Structure 1
Amino acid sequence: MYESHFGFSGPPFQLSPDPGFYFDSRGHNHALAYLKFGVYQGEGFIVVTGEIGAGKTTLVRTLIDSLQSQDVVAAQVVSTQLESGDLLRSIITAFGIALRGAGKADMIASIEAFLTSLALSGRRALLLVDEAQNLPAAAVEELRMLSNFQLGNRALLQSFLVGQPELRQVLQSDSMEQFRQRVIASCHLGPLEEAETRAYVEHRLQRVGWTGRPSFAEESFARIHHHTRGVPRRINLLCNRLLLGAYLGGQDAIELTDVDAVAIDFMREMGGAHTPAVSAAAPVLTQEVPATALAPVARSAWTGHADVVRLRTDSVVSVHKPIVCLVDTPMAYLKALALAQSLSEDAGLPPLVLVNPGTQGAVTPGGGLTERLRQPALEVHLGATQGRYAECAAVAQTRFDALLVELSPRAVLALGEGDTLLACCMVAAKSDIPLLRLEADVIGEAGAQGMNSELLDRLVQVFYVGSIPSHYALQRKGVPADRVRGVGHLLDNVLHLLRPHAVPARTTLQRVGADGLGDTGYAVVTAQYCADADGSEAQFAAQVKTVCMLSTAVPLVWPVKHHTQLAMRNRDLQKLLAKARVAVVPQASYLEVLGLLESAQAAVLGADMHLSGEVQSMNVPAMCIAPVEAITPEMVTGSSIRLVRHPNQALKELQGLLSQQRDDEDRGLYWDGGAAQRIASHLKSWLRRHGSSPQAPSAEYSEMVTP
């Protein structure tokens, strides 16, 4: 979200291990030297331990990346209580070994044949066993036996055991004497020192092209170290939230007070004195609650199923057989919170569990928005990071499947259509769990997202839509009318909850030196620069000229994202805008934008349709200026937004909008902020009937749409 805003080439504080971000602290340098020595020996075991989030996996992957790939074949196994037979099968899968039979002897023979063939070709095998503290003694003994494989006097397999400090205790037991004799190198990763914490933060920022924006106050690094105790993953979590908060708050500097404020938020969420670590193997309950709050699901049952688990402090409820809501964007997250509030107000409905297939930072909007909405009883972040589809989908599906087994949900609601969300929906469908789609409005998308939407529709049993045209569009696609439910838009619920907290327009205009603009009335421009479009810079320059022309009818306020501001600067368009009556508002927060729209006479949208939902929900007269090839009529069908194909028509259209009397009572059919309540009401009756065909809602729909 904030990467392009600050000019980064990628996320600097992602949680997934990446050798490209390896930081050579004193402890890591010492450990890497030990590991290189161990690899040079070419045999036995190398043991790496450290606290959760200390950087163990990154260290080992950095070592493996430094080896000659033509000489070494490396494979990784993640241990989650694997028995010896399971471990052998995992090793076979990890190396891609052709299995000669199903028995244990066949598996061992297949592994030995594979290792021998590598040795004969001048290569050797390295096995990385992650979360090795979970290995039972029988599995460790199996690894020791595999280390006996030799070709002449040359060992065929070398293994790395990576785990938490408990691994050392496991290996110190009397039964591990023979294993300990095979350990040729071991190291333990501790936390970073205070000076190293600063160097670590700056190192990761510089890896993505940081040029000092945002800046960090000198004393902020010491406070980051204090709150994170120098643990790299905790630093990543805190700094990711700091950057997101700076982006949403329109700040170019991170001060000491910002660090403390974010850390306090974490403390409240996590229920501890410091920002806790997050592990794929051991999720964090971010609030301390009575053990009965999770009954009949034990806390230990969550191990390995998520990166982060957040449980609301006052939520002493059973999470067995809940409703699961899948989200994958910050706006979907906010909508799910609004829905969770309505569901929690109805004692006849199960609690809502919010599940995000990705990382927590990818969907948590920050900027004070979530503080205005009631948190769900439980939210789970599965931790599937961005990358190749197959890898991300596999992580999401594996963890979501385990979560479904533990929760036994009554239904799964899909709010989004991203790759990993679709992957989770497929798991739900295969598990015979009813799948219902929220915000199922058809907007004519193409490409990968359009394909995801088509695939998702084949799995869904009930479609919740926001408008009558969307209802008809689904029918034209072959969806039976009794599976479509008109409820309105969840964005209306979100805006009802957030608008009382919107920043007054006058305050925002004062910030950019346009104090008097609000006295005479203004229109808001929402268009943003799109770098992916063909001829994008030329198109954007033409768009700016059109905006300047429109300013002859009314002063314009243009809140812009960072990449749009850069495009203006690169094309030297700021002078043109300054001469016209256009007040550019850089880095406007969401609450500032809502305040501007609240008092606007009209809105001018671009082909990206940015803020189109907010404009319609707030009943702002609006038009969309887009070239013929950039937008289709279907994208604005059923909306109050007027489509303008040619710039020379724009001024006349805007003048027509300004002549309209803005009446907040003149809303769309479902504007009342009640979409969440209607969904809750329908869910209650639908779940009661579940097991037989859902009652055809077309009659109920007719009642709702009757004037």
Structure 2
Amino acid sequence: MYEKAFGFSAPPFQVNPDPSFYFESKGHSAAYQYLRFGAFQAEGFVVVTGEIGAGKTTLLRALLAELDPDKIVAAQLVSTQLGAEDLLAAVAQAFGINSEGLSKPRLLVTLEAYLARLATSNRRALLIIDEAQNLDATAIEELRMLSNFQFGNQALLQSFLVGQPELRKLLRSPQMEQLRQRVIASYHLGPMSAEETASYVRHRLGKVGWQGVPSFSDAALEAVHLASGGVPRRINTLCNRLLLSVFLDAVDTIDAPRVRQVHSELRAEMDGSSASDAPAAAGVSAAQGTSLLCIAASDWGVLACGALMDAFARREDLPEARMLRFLGHHAVRDEQQAQRDLRDLGVEVQGETVELTASSVAGSMAEASLALARRLEGDAPGAVIVAGDGPIDAACAVLASQARVPVVRVDAGLRNGDLDDPRELGRAASDSLSALLLTGERVAMDRLCAAGVPEGSLAMVGALAADVTRLGLARSVAAERTLQREGLPMSLLSDPAGFVLVWLDRASNDPARGAVLALDRELRTLGWRLSTLWPMKAADAALRQALQADAAACGVQTLEVRHYAELLGLMRHARCLLTDCGWLQDQATALGLSCLTIGPNTERHASLLVGTNRLVGPDAGTIARELVDLISSGGRRAGVPELWDGHAAERIAARVSDWLLSRQDDSYRSYLDGA
């Protein structure tokens, strides 16, 4: 109706899939490459999922147009609650085989014979099942059995399963284990970002000869993204009505108020239509279309968020993740070191740094809360990720919860039992306010289960510290280089007795510091001598200078480590780690390095129960005896705790993806209320 008035050669926003309008967003490009890869492999199953209207059918049609029909015979069917026998008949009919009156055994023989004839003529069969989430378990099992058909070493049938997000949940059920083992590629097609939505609109208009009339304002394109959740079919429906609206009103500019008005009209019209097509279904997509905000308020927070964001970035079904890094006396001490630590992991992250000027803990928490509040006033993230247990992490969890932004708590459930420890209170507060709790060890998991945390809000994923260790090992700096730079003797590395490595997160802790300085004397009393290396961060230069003379007199070599890779290199050569730092206890276990933890308690129970850690107090005599015992016995021979395989971040990313898919998006509902 409006095409002629605007000089269009065709309607630009048809709802029906049309490969000629294919738009290569980041997600669609990746999904298409997965399909092509699967087709090239010629065996097994390829799974592609996405929301209604995400563009799955368009991708399939684009792929089918590319395949050579002289080599591949493709059959496509749409699943509608098919059982096993119905599926077999439908597959046969899709390949042009008359199945009427055939028993199941006869049908299987006929189908196998047909597929074998294709193979003998150097052709192969590809079965594409759309809306595969409607298949029941018996039908999927029948598909798996069909994949057993072979001609020599060649698989006779390859299957593509395409469906809505429910298909992912179906395939993850325990009874689908055998089929999952045959999935050679799997991809979830998420919604487009705001920038991609704008490019998509312009792309489709350009395909029909658009010359800039009518124009879309930047605010209008942002409103289109919000209203559609970045889902192509919803974008098409909305933009088609927008073009009709400006044509009828004889105007040539589309602005944000018009988008909201037209979207409101569409909602009213669709109130009586099927729930599957209603805009309310955009909740999941809208949740995924927003960002994830990772809080980094300590050196460990930077490393943990780096590993998480690396895993998030490798999944197309997750929104963009950004880091909010806090720099200050009670947060990250050195911005340059933080950036270098991220490079040591080989990851690139997007984000910003907020400098905190307060000298007190309370002041830093207040500043951090204010900074986070300002960032939540605009486009609120889909979730705030909290991986640390410091006061600023807890403050951010509280503020996000109050702002109705869900909190994802990593390393949840850790406790040391000391109610006078501010970190203990922070851990409990963060856990209680979180919508999703992800634990790294069994004791923490059991504790949260006993506290009544709902099953859907809780998962055990393994220790993120093991992931950080795995990522950092490839870039760890040789201990020789660090010692040479600091002017320390290489004999520290060649000494058969080895050396004790000290790392105090709270270097101003008087009992711990006193224990380190008295350690050499206590060891000599026992007839032992061990070299002691005490690395400190550049931010602790003043403390190091104050201690240097006393440390040297006590046989302790202090040195500066400038970034994580240098510390990891020293840990790889050490005989034992002496620390008050929880995340380094876990990393020592990941490395198989014996560890003594200074203090009366620890929150890291897996490193004690299964790993390489022993808990000692701040008494130098006790520490010396434990050291002698460790070295005399060849070190603590420990196992690897459950799920400490260096892939916790990947499991976290998968769990966050599922969680986002299952949520209704509050920001989308707020947008609708304001329309």
Q: Normalising by the residue count of structure 1, what TM-score does the alignment of the two structures yield? A: 0.46
Bigger RCO (CA 8 Å, 6+ sep): 2
Which one has a bigger Cα radius of gyration?
2
**Greater share of helix:** 2
